[in-house]
Amino acid sequence: MQPKVVCVVGGTSGLGAAVAKQLGATLKPVKVFIAGRTLPQNASPESTTTLTSPRFEYARIDVTSMKQCIAFADAVAADPLVKEHGLSALVLSAGNLNFALSRHVTPEGLERTFALNYLSKFAIINRLMPALLRANSARIVSVLAGGNGGYFDINDIQMQKGSYNCIKQATQTGVLVDLMTVQLSSLYSQPVPTSLSLAPPRFYHFFPGIMNTNNPTNANLPWYITTPLKLILPLVGQNPDVVARTNILPLLETSYLDLSLLSSGSLIHPGLKLAKHYDVLKDTSVRERLWEESKNLVDNILLE
């Protein structure tokens, strides 16, 4: 049995925490890396690592900072188990709907929603790609708004032109993750030349629907919005543990290797229902332009 090492970004609360917990119990990895904006009280790693008792290693990072995202990815890649066996699964659940009335810029010069919802995923996935390619059929699941489509302007991905609209920008970041997922599946569709026995990684973008989590508070919404939401969400929102168990864990299990309906690049709705690829996702020139612009943004920040 090849030891499995997995990583969850946004894994200290909400859906990400549910995924991390169930990953440890179900897939029996030997190590689980967990990154998030806060640390749970019991965040100290276990003293031993065995095939039946995973070791959890926590890191506190601001996912809107590309420097912190890259530093975390480098720490994961440098782990001896990752060096030897690769990274079997990567789940990126950090993201939020920002209801800011004006455009907020991070210290690195990025529009905050763009950095949190999209560019952090792009940066971490690409930095960890060598480790993902060393594992057999590694699974990469981005959690945001898979297949929802909506507003998109390739000429203004950080919404710098005109008046700022938080809803439009949140919608646009979902499209950006769709484009990234499809592009990744295109770039990494063949076995790794240096190890033809390994199946290529699979990339998914999942929309979880309405969930009963603390996202409204994390999004810094005013009290007159968060208070009623705390009453409503338990009634209409899905339990994060259920979503993790019934939707995300199946995407990470090897039993789905030969299920053609969940091929790499799939955009997935609750119940593992596939969303159709809309027109802009089929435009190679748009995907390549977004890829180059995203790469340049991350590279330039790292040079500062």
Q: According to the model, what pLDDT value does residue 131 have?
A: 97
Query: Which of 16-25, 134-143, 177-186 has maximum average pLDDT?
Result: 177-186
Q: According to the model, what pLDDT value does residue 148 have?
A: 97
| CA distances (Å), origin 94, targets 49, 132, 142, 221, 287 | 27, 19, 9, 17, 22
User: Shortest CA distance to 146 belongs to which of 111, 119, 118, 125?
Assistant: 118
Q: According to the model, what pLDDT value does residue 266 have?
A: 95
User: Shortest CA distance to 19 belongs to which of 129, 94, 102, 96?
Assistant: 94
224-238 mean pLDDT: 61
Greater pLDDT, 253 or 299: 299
- With bands split at pLDDT 50, 70 and 90, how would you rate the model's confidence at 236? low
Q: For helices 284-303 and 166-187, what crossing angle results, to 10°? A: 100
Asked whether the whole model's pTM tops 0.85, one would answer yes
Average pLDDT, the chain: 86
Q: Provide, rounded to the nearest whole percent, the portion of the chain with pLDDT above 70.
A: 80
Greater pLDDT, 195 or 102: 102
Per-residue pLDDT tens for 258-295? 455 678 999 999 999 999 999 999 999 999 999 999 99
Does the domain made of 5-303 have the CATH classification 3.40.50.720?
yes
189-209 mean pLDDT: 83
Q: Are 13 and 218 in contact (CB under 8 A)?
A: yes
Q: Provide, rounded to the nearest whole percent, the portion of the chain with pLDDT above 90.
A: 60
Q: According to the model, what pLDDT value does residue 187 have?
A: 97
Query: Which of 91-105, 206-220, 278-292 has maximum average pLDDT?
Result: 278-292
Distant-in-sequence, close-in-space partners of 41: CB < 8 Å, separation ≥ 6: none
Per-residue pLDDT tens for 6-60? 999 998 888 999 999 888 777 778 899 999 988 876 555 443 434 445 688 999 9
Euclidean distance between CA atoms 203 and 201, whole angstroms: 7
Q: Are 168 and 301 in contact (CB under 8 A)?
A: no
Give the number of other CB atoms < 10 A from CB of residue 133: 19
Residue 64 has pLDDT above 60, yes or no: yes
Residue 240 has pLDDT above 50, yes or no: yes
Q: According to the model, what pLDDT value does residue 107 have?
A: 98
Q: According to the model, what pLDDT value does residue 173 have?
A: 98
Residue 197 has pLDDT above 80, yes or no: no
Q: According to the model, what pLDDT value does residue 47 have?
A: 35
Q: According to the model, what pLDDT value does residue 38 have?
A: 84
Euclidean distance between CA atoms 119 and 134, whole angstroms: 24
